[in-house]
Structure formats: structure tokens, C-alpha cells
Amino acid sequence: MDLQLYLQEKRNYINSVLDKILPPETTYPESIHKAMRYSVFAGGKRLRPILTIAAAEACGGSADNVIEAACALELIHTYTLIHDDLPAMDDDDYRRGKLTCHKVFGEAIAILAGDALLTYAFQILARASLENKVNNNINLENILYIAKSVGSQGLIGGQVVDLESENKSLNEDILNYIHKNKTAALFKAAIKTGGVVAGANEEMLAALDDYAQFYGLAFQITDDILDIEGDSKEIGKSVGSDEKNNKLTYPSLYGIEKSKTMAEDNINKAIESLAIFGTKAEALCEIAKYTLKRTS
């Protein structure tokens, strides 16, 4: 398969549905709807919703089945970026080469736009659940799982520990906690959602969970490496920002070479987890391999 073509097609589909489901900029009060759209359409790679779709396809479902739930996960991802960039958090002026939400709309609207995207994600998840054919107990359980994944003992917990670990001494347990929660939890939820909405059985869901675990870790390690070795134009933010903020990263703990080996090992394990799906998991497999080659 041509991975770049696959990613481009899915990205276009996701963007068109995000455009359809988000209130227009002219919706009153305009400022918040402009801010929500500004950040959602600030050039994201749509990796999480693409993973939702690819996971659904591996389980015999289609992109059309899961597109709304997939978009909801992208809205959650966008909300976390808006709040992470705030002055009180990482205080970033740029994200993907564009001014961050609070630099354009002010802090108050940025906080509220993040709140609104999180809230809207649950609205879309509830609506998508009402529309799909899987029984509603399973949908409710998945909403519960997503909320748990992005809550105070999931994604938000990861952000808390990340903030509190700045300028502290390095510790493997803390680093693993941060990335398991700050990054991998939402990947896992996105991948699981694809399986759930496509009606996956227990064995399939377990395989997807393994894939997500290994993939999420490899993604974070390569992210840390890119912060050191990457091209700031391609990444869209200044390189070396982790070091500047004294962030705990894989390269700072293990060195660059060992970090690269760890990323490769995890990608291999992620791919092995897909065995039961056969060729249906080709997209998930290619997405994993591409992680090692990415430059942004």
C-alpha cells in the first residue's frame, strides 16, 4: 500500500467531517467558535483519528462507521494542546509553526475553547453512539473508557506529572508514567474506539491494546529524539525546547542511540501484535513503521 496516499485520503476525510461537525465561525458567540476552529485546523496530522479508522478496518469495519467518534478524539487532542500551550503550563507561542490559540485569542478564550472542545467531544461521542448499530452498553462503556483515559489518572495525570517533573532529577518510573498517560492513553483510546465501534471481539481488542501500548511508547521516544535532532521548520516549534525546560525525556535518560534502539524494538513488537488481523491490519502496520522515519 501507498502509506502517504492512505494518510492523505483519511486526513482529507477527517478534515471534511471536522468542518461539518464544528459550529461555523459565524455562530454566536463568534470568538469562541473562531478559536475552536483555529486550533482544530492549525495543521494537525490527524494521527489519532487515522488510527481509529485503521483499527476499525483491521476489525472488518469501515471509515464511515467510525468517522464521528474518530473526530471526537481529535477534538480531545486539540483541547489538550490548547491548554498545554497556556502561559501557566508550557507557555508556548508557536505550535506547528502557527501562533498558539492564546496568542491569537487571549488566555480567557483559549481556556474556554479548550473546555468547549472537550465538552463537544463527549457530545459527538454520545451522538455517534446513538447512530451506530453496536449495542449501546458497549458504546457507553467506551465513553467511560475514553473519559478515564483522558482524566486525572490518565492524560491529565500525565500532564500534571510532566509539569511537576521540570527541573527535577531523572527517574525512569516518572518518565514512563508521563508518557503512558500523557501520550499513550489517548492513542490507546483512539485505537480501541475503532475496534469497539467496528464490533471487535475480545481477542481483537486485546491485540489492538498491545499494538497501542508499543506504538504509543515508540511515538513518544521518537518525539523526544526529534526535539533534539529535528528540523525546527518541519516540527513547527523550536528544537531543544525540552532541554530548555529541563524536561525529562528518553534521550536525556538513556542517550540518543539507546533511545533509537528502544523505539525500533517497540515498533517491532507493535507490528507483531497485529498478527491475528492478517492483511486487514496493513495500514496499522505501515503507520507503525513510518514512526521511525518521521521528521515532524
Residues within the interface to a second copy (CB under 8 A): 23, 27-29, 31-33, 36, 79, 83, 86, 88-89, 106-109, 111-116, 118-120, 122-123, 126-127, 129-130, 136-137, 139-141, 143-144, 147-148, 150-153, 156-157, 159-161, 163-164, 177
Q: How far apart are the first and last CA of the chain?
A: 22
Instruction: Please state, in angstroms and as integers, the Cα–Cα distance from residue 215 to each residue in 73, 119, 220, following that order.
Output: 17, 27, 9
User: Which is nearer to a second copy, 114 or 216 (by Cβ)?
Assistant: 114
CA 197 to chain centre: 18
CB 285 within 8 A of CB 3: no
Cell of 91: 507557555
Instruction: Give me the least distance between CB of 205 and a second copy, in Å please.
Output: 18
To the nearest 10 degrees (0 to 180), the angle between helices 136-149 and 107-131 is: 160
Instruction: Give me the least distance between CB of 53 and a second copy, in Å please.
Output: 22
CA 115 to chain centre: 17
Q: How far apart are CA 242 and CA 249, in angstroms?
A: 8
Q: How many CB atoms lie under 10 A from the CB of residue 20?
A: 10
What DSSP line would sit under 116-133, residue for residue?
HHHHHHHHHHHHHHHHSS
Instruction: Give me the least distance between CB of 154 and a second copy, in Å please.
Output: 8
Q: How many CB atoms lie under 10 A from the CB of residue 289?
A: 13
Instruction: Give me the least distance between CB of 197 and a second copy, in Å please.
Output: 14
Instruction: Give me the least distance between CB of 120 and a second copy, in Å please.
Output: 6
User: Which is nearer to a second copy, 175 or 270 (by Cβ)?
Assistant: 175
CB 263 within 8 A of CB 292: yes
User: Which is nearer to a second copy, 64 or 107 (by Cβ)?
Assistant: 107
User: Which is nearer to a second copy, 63 or 111 (by Cβ)?
Assistant: 111
Helix (H) or strand (E) holding 39: helix 30-40
User: Which is nearer to a second copy, 105 or 214 (by Cβ)?
Assistant: 105
**Residues forming beta bridges with residue 98, ordered by sequence position:** 95
Instruction: Give me the least distance between CB of 110 and a second copy, in Å please.
Output: 8
Instruction: Give me the least distance between CB of 148 and a second copy, in Å please.
Output: 6
User: Which is nearer to a second copy, 147 or 239 (by Cβ)?
Assistant: 147
Instruction: Give me the least distance between CB of 147 and a second copy, in Å please.
Output: 4
User: Which is nearer to a second copy, 42 or 109 (by Cβ)?
Assistant: 109
Residue 107: CA count within 13 A, CB half-sphere: 7
Cell of 203: 481477542
User: Which is nearer to a second copy, 60 or 151 (by Cβ)?
Assistant: 151
